[in-house]
Structure 1
Amino acid sequence: MIRAALFQMTTGIDPHVNAEAIAAAVTKAREGGAAMLFTPEMSGLLDRDRARARASIRSEQDDVVLAAARDAARRHGVWVHLGSLAIAREDGKWANRAFVIDDAGEIRARYDKIHMFDVNLASGETWRESSAYTPGDAVVTVETPVGRLGLAICYDVRFPALFEALGRARCDVIAIPAAFTVPTGKAHWHLLQRARAVEASAYVLSAAQCGTHDDGRETYGHSLAVDPWGDVLLDMGGEGANVAFVDIDAERIAQVRAQLPSLANRRVIAG
Structure 2
Amino acid sequence: MNQFTSLEERIDNAAHQLLARLPRGRVADGVVEFLVFGLKQAWACLFGGLMLGMILVTRLWWPDIGIARYDAWFVAALVIQIGMLVFRLETLNEAKVILIFHLVGTGMELFKTAAGSWIYPEDAMLRIGGVPLFSGFMYACVGSYMARIQRIFDIRFSHYPPVWATIVLAVAIYANFFTHHFIADFRWVLFAAVVLLYWRSQMHYRVFRFRHRMPMLLAFLLVALFIWIGENIGTWSRAWIYPNQSDGWAMVSWGKLGSWYLLMLISVVLVTLVHPPKAYQQDV
- Which protein is richer in strand relative to its size? 1
Q: TM-score when scaled to structure 1?
A: 0.29
Computing the radius of gyration from Cα coordinates, the structure with the larger value is 2
Identify the structure with bigger relative contact order (alpha carbons < 8 Å, sequence gap 6+): 2
Q: TM-score when scaled to structure 2?
A: 0.28
